[in-house]
Amino acid sequence: MDPKQSGTHMSNEFSILDVMGPYREPYERAFSYDYVVQRPHWPAPQSVRVKVSIDHELDYLKSQILGLTGGTPGQQLRVNQMLCRAIADQKLEIGNREGLFSERRDVMIDPFTEALKYLFPALDDWMRTHRDRLREEINKTIGI
């Protein structure tokens, strides 16, 4: 992902200054990434934590959309890392479009289930649109 991301409107522009993760969430089946983002009109950056559900987002992309099977444990770990980060990056973009972190404060973008379930179709559309690119990247980088 390009370190400089921008939304469709001037007020939605933001830059990613740093990304840390993935972290395993202790009380739920999810991974998370911590993004440090800056908007042009903010005096200081803010933190945005993006959670990726293992069952409803990561495994869905791997099995339902990409149909990935096989590979060594190391290859599977690497696939999970690549896909989880791609999902988190896209969820940050969707969150930006929805105004989930338009104010300067610490923010968490939860899995697109339950209260945020209405956002899952946008993520699903992205997964289906980028299916071939993701498969090619996995094949080129990991060999499966």
Averages of pLDDT over runs of 10 residues in the chain (144 residues) are: 42 90 95 95 92 97 92 93 97 94 84 96 98 95 88
Crossing angle, helix 120-129 and helix 131-142, to 10 degrees? 60
Using DSSP, state whether 130 is helix, strand or coil. Answer: coil
pLDDT computed for residue 11 by the predictor: 62
- Could you tell me the residue ranges of all domains in the chain? 4-142
Q: Are 45 and 38 in contact (CB under 8 A)?
A: yes
Please state, in angstroms and rounded to a whole number, the distance separating the CA atoms of residues 102 and 55.
28
Half-sphere exposure of 40 (CA within 13 A, CB side): 9
Report yes or no on whether pTM surpasses 0.85. yes
Helix, strand or coil, per DSSP, at residue 16 = strand
pLDDT of residue 144: 84
